[in-house]
Amino acid sequence: MTAEVDETSRIAFLDVLRGVALFGILLVNVFSFGADYPAWSGIADQLVWQVKHVLFETKFWTLYSLLFGMGFFLQTQSSGYTTARSLRRLGVLMVFGCLHALLFEGDILMLYAELGLLLLLLFRLPTKWLLSLALLLLLSFPFGHLLDVDRGDDWPAENVEEASTWLEEERMDSPLAVGSFTEVLAFHAAFLPERFWADWQYPDSGLLVLACFLVGFCIMRGGWVALQRLTRRQAVSIAGGLWVLGLLLMGFERYWSNTVGYAPFERSDATPLQVLGGDLVYLAATLSLTGGWFFSVWCWVQSRWLIGVRGLIASTGQMSLTGYVSQTLIFTTIFYGYGFGAAFIWGPAQVVMLAVVVYAVQVVLSHWWCQRFRRGPAEWLWRCLTHWRWQPIRR
C-alpha cells in the first residue's frame, strides 16, 4: 500500500495522492452496504449515485493501484532491497488481507499481495514490454465481456418495486444485517482466498489491477523525470484535457446506458457489439479521469494553494493502510447486525455523508499521529513483521 521510504526522503506528491485516493476508495466502498440498490430513487440519492459512478467508481482503485506500482519501484531502488524481503512483505500483506476480508468482502489487500507476486516476476522486463502487457490486460475487460455478455448477472432489478423487494429481503435475511459476529466471519470465509482471475470480464478485475501496477511502475522507472520537468501551465493543460475527455466519455456512457440498456457492472440489455462499444468507452473514461485526478493532485502539490489542507491529507496518505482497515472497522460496526444494524437501511445520500465525516475525522487523527510517530500502527506492524524485528515508531 505504501512504499518503504525513510521519512526524510518521502515524496510529498505520493503521500497527498494516496490520501486523496483513500477518500475515493472509502466513498465507493461505503455503498457496499445496501446503498447501491436501484430502490433508492429519490432525487438526492440519484444525484449522489451518479456523482459516485461518474467521478469515483473504478477511478480510485485504479489510482491506488498505480500508487502500488510506483511504491514497488521505490522499494526496488532502496539500499536494503532483496527479493526475500519483498516476499515477506507480500506475505504479511496477504495475512492482513485474509483477516480484513473476514469482515469485508470488498478487501483489496489479498488481491494486491497476490498480484504483487506477479509484479515481482515481471518488473525486470523492458518498459515497452511491461506497457504492452498492461494494454493487453486492460483490454481483457471489454473483450472478455464480449465473449461472455451476460456473465451470469441477475442484476439490476427490472424496476424500483422489485429492487425495493430485494432490499427488504436483504434486511431480513442477509447475515450482514442479522448475523452475529461469528456468522459474519463464516459468511466471508467462503470467499477466501481471493481469486484474481475469477472476474476477468469486469471493469474492476484483478487483471486490470495488475495492468495499473505495471503502469505505475513504469511511471516511476521512465516517466518521473519527465513529469518533474513539466511546467505548471503544461500540467494544468494536461489535467484539464483529461478531465474534459473523461467527462465527455462518461456522458456518452450514461447516454448509452439510458438508450440501449448498457451497464458496465450489471446485466446489459444491449447487443454484444453495443456492450463492447460501451465497455471501451467506459474503460477510456476510467483511464482519462484517473489521469485527471493524478495530474490535478500534481498541480496542487506544485502550488501554494491550501497548503495546510494538503499537509493534513499527506498525513492521511502516510498511514493509508491504517486508514483503510480502520474504515472497515467503523463501517462494520455501523452497518452490521452485531453493531448498529444500518445495513440495507441507509441510502446513497446518507452513506456519502457518513463517508465525508469519517474521512474528516481520519484526516485530523492522522495528522495528530504523524506529529508524534514515524508511521501508522498498521504500517509499523507491517514493517516489523517484514524485517522480523522491532522497528522504532516514536519520533
Residue 393 belongs to a domain: no
Q: Look at residue 277 and tell me whether its pLDDT is greater than 60.
A: yes
Query: How high is the pLDDT of residue 6?
Result: 40
Q: What is residue 198's predicted lDDT score, i.e. its pLDDT?
A: 87
Helix 377-387, helix 320-335: angle, nearest 10: 120
- Single-letter code of the amino acid located at 6: D
pLDDT band at 161 (very low <50, low <70, confident <90, very high): confident
Residue 2 in domain: no
Task: Give 133: exposed, middle or buried? Use CB within 10 Å, 0-12, 13-18, 19+.
Answer: middle
For the chain, where are the E strands, in sequence order? none
Helices 272-302/12-29 angle, 10° precision: 140
Total number of domains in the chain: 1
Segment holding 326, helix H or strand E: helix 320-335
Find cell 435475511 and name the residue: 173
The sign of the dihedral angle between the CA atoms of 205, 24, 26, 108 is positive
pLDDT (tens digit per residue) in 283-341: 999 999 999 999 999 999 999 899 999 999 999 999 999 999 999 999 999 999 999 99
Distance in angstroms (rounded) separating the CA atoms of residues 50 and 55: 8
Find cell 514515524 and name the residue: 374
Residues 6+ apart with CB under 8 A from 355: 23, 26, 27, 30
- Rounded to the nearest 10 degrees, the angle between the axes of helix 12-29 and helix 320-335 is 10
Query: Is omega for the bond preceding 392 within 30 degrees of 0, making it cis?
Result: no
Give the range of the structural domain holding residue 340, as residue numbers without chain letter.
Answer: 7-387
Residue 394 located in a structural domain: no
What pLDDT is attached to residue 157?
73
Q: Quick one: pLDDT band at residue 267, thresholds 50, 70, 90?
A: confident
Percent of the chain with pLDDT over 70: 97
Tens-place pLDDT, residues 178-218: 999 999 999 999 989 889 998 899 999 999 999 999 999 99
C-alpha cell at 233: 501551465
Residue 392 in domain:
no
* Domain contains 80: yes
Query: Does any domain span residue 395?
Result: no
pLDDT value at residue 160: 85
Report yes or no: 100 and 325 within 8 Å, Cβ to Cβ: yes
Query: Which residue's entry shows cell 461472455?
Result: 148
* 231 part of a folded domain: yes
CA gap 342, 202 in Å, rounded: 28
Which string of DSSP letters, residue by residue, matches 207-233? HHHHHHHHHHHHIIIIIHHHHHH--HH
Residue by residue, DSSP assigns 230-268 as: --HHHHHHHHHHHHHHHHHHHHHHHHHHHHH---SSS--
| Owner of C-alpha cell 506544485 | 302
Contact (Cβ atoms closer than 8 angstroms) between residue 65 and residue 209: yes
Q: Residue 167 in contact with residue 344, Cβ under 8 Å?
A: yes
CA distance 113 to 110: 5
